[in-house]
Structure 1
């Protein structure tokens, strides 16, 4: 086995084309095909299926692709660790931050803190949905992510960071009684929610199901810009974590309302692989993330205390 063939294989799968891979790798296509045949011989499995549109991995190919990414990533980190001098940390670290969560507020502070403490670390920040981020970690393509969830699927480990309360955001002209909205009242409101596979949607659905409320979902939207525009146009209301609800309410000229009886909470967790150790640079970034979340939590509590004091005065 040699790493060069694994790199070739990963590039072919990424591009879905032997021709394109040949051009990017600067290798003649017959030679690249020969390397692929050697790899298939070593594993005794067909790895790719050739079609008119290109190539697609077989089931065995998918398995090798996942492991190859992990192997190549660990090799690059090993080389980076050996090249570092003194106590300076250097290398690539990838962090996922689920959009529409309190995690979104961490991106800039994380970037600034890592740059200040460890300028040799190249930080990659991916703001995508939780299910996508968790798959990237399982496949060894990402070091860690902050996302919704508290029950880790196989291959992952979750560390609970905080629980974020969910709020209703309504168009300003929607006829809803002032003040907090009881969960049962949501059956009479047109809702725009994420797709069912989204972690946030799952917590909303569970809460509504427990209250025996059949939601009136009029659209499934996962774009903040589209959601803000829809709120502004009065198409419907949505349910979001406090951090995202404030942004959508402000940009869409909406009203943020607390959901009560009962409140809905979504756990925000730090997700890592349960079997792949973090590199030294990744451990440092992991620690910075925990510090920033602690600061975020304290700041949130202080803000809540300030709001409560205003109500009493």
Structure 2
């Protein structure tokens, strides 16, 4: 395979039409078709399905599309790194920060540190849910992500523990406040608004409740931070949140919070990156800044001194 054929293949899949892709690439359609046929011969796989409406990738084509995106991204970064050699780091670095986590508090300090130490690096910050961020990192479309999790091995990803956040019960002002701290057994009997079972925080809650032979009384499953705030403001019920988000909710909404104990539950925050795609030099520099910020974090951090060198 050569880079030109991969570029052609990516463009065909993006546009969904051989004819339109040929026009955009300024290549004759027969020549583009021949390049695709050569690529299919090299891979030994049919990569596209041709219909009257255009072309769509086969399952093998989807796999190649993901890898080709990562390959071309690395080639682009290699060019940037070579141009920038000896002239200071520059280029784009994408960082995911899971919302409703302590990661949100790292955004501004990270931007300030990057401006001070590596002004040539252009950061792209993306705040979305951890499952989406980990998929972007796995596919090579994002360099780094700070999210809850990392306690279970995931093929294609590596996790470096950063810190732990205790979970808090957060209730509306109209609900009689629970004692602080509050035993989990008292929490499980309340009407709770929690995320879906695949969410890391929900898994921690379900696991802790199962350990004391209880099940949380979940009246609705909500993934939106703004909706959870609205639920608390309307007095519909309570929720369980990591400390950082619990503080944010109680600071902006008439409500109270109580740390959960017996057992205490802690959400592990981790730095996520690919375990097989190498980080660019700018991404390595941003990673180092992130780890430095966590070491200075006011909460009790997990050890990061034995962090593996970036690949």
Task: Describe the superposition over 1:249-277 as per-residue Cα deviations: whole angstroms up to 9, x where unpaired.
Answer: 23332211111111110111111122222
Q: Residues 163 and 266 of structure 1 are in contact (CA less than 8 Å); yes or no, is this contact kept in structure 2?
A: yes
Which residue of the partner structure matches residue 111 of structure 2? 111
Distance 1:21 1:217, change over 3 A: farther
Q: CA RMSD in A?
A: 2.3
**Superposition TM-score, scaled by structure 2 size:** 0.87
Which residue of the partner structure matches residue 205 of structure 2? 204
Which residue of the partner structure matches residue 243 of structure 1? 244
Distance of 2:33 and 2:227 partners within structure 1: 45
Unaligned runs of 5+ in 2: 301-311
Distance 1:262 1:58, change over 3 A: same
Distance of 1:22 and 1:11 partners within structure 2: 9
Distance 1:52 1:82, change over 3 A: same
TM-superposed deviation, 1:28: 6.8
Task: Describe the superposition over 1:37-64 as per-residue Cα deviations: whole angstroms up to 9, x where unpaired.
Answer: 3322332211133467764432211221
Q: SS at 2:100's partner residue?
A: coil
TM-superposed deviation, 1:29: 6.3
Which residue of the partner structure matches residue 66 of structure 1? 66
Which residue of the partner structure matches residue 157 of structure 1? 158
Which residue of the partner structure matches residue 300 of structure 1? 299
Distance of 2:230 and 2:236 partners within structure 1: 9
Which residue of the partner structure matches residue 93 of structure 1? 93
Which residue of the partner structure matches residue 282 of structure 2? 281
Aligned residues: 299
Q: Residues 96 and 144 of structure 1 are in contact (CA less than 8 Å); yes or no, is this contact kept in structure 2?
A: yes
Higher helix share: 1
Distance of 1:60 and 1:5 partners within structure 2: 16
Unaligned runs of 5+ in 1: 302-313
Q: Residues 157 and 271 of structure 1 are in contact (CA less than 8 Å); yes or no, is this contact kept in structure 2?
A: yes
TM-superposed deviation, 1:187: 2.5
My pick for the range that moved more, 236-245 or 180-189, is 180-189
Does 1:220 pair with 2:203?
Answer: no
Q: SS at 1:230's partner residue?
A: helix
Which residue of the partner structure matches residue 4 of structure 2? 4
Distance of 1:217 and 1:77 partners within structure 2: 47
Distance 1:259 1:24, change over 3 A: farther
Q: Residues 169 and 187 of structure 2 are in contact (CA less than 8 Å); yes or no, is this contact kept in structure 1?
A: no
Q: Residues 168 and 259 of structure 1 are in contact (CA less than 8 Å); yes or no, is this contact kept in structure 2?
A: yes
TM-superposed deviation, 1:17: 5.6
My pick for the range that moved more, 13-22 or 72-81, is 13-22
Q: Residues 91 and 281 of structure 1 are in contact (CA less than 8 Å); yes or no, is this contact kept in structure 2?
A: yes
TM-superposed deviation, 1:285: 0.5
Which residue of the partner structure matches residue 307 of structure 1? none
Distance 1:191 1:71, change over 3 A: same
Q: SS at 1:239's partner residue?
A: strand
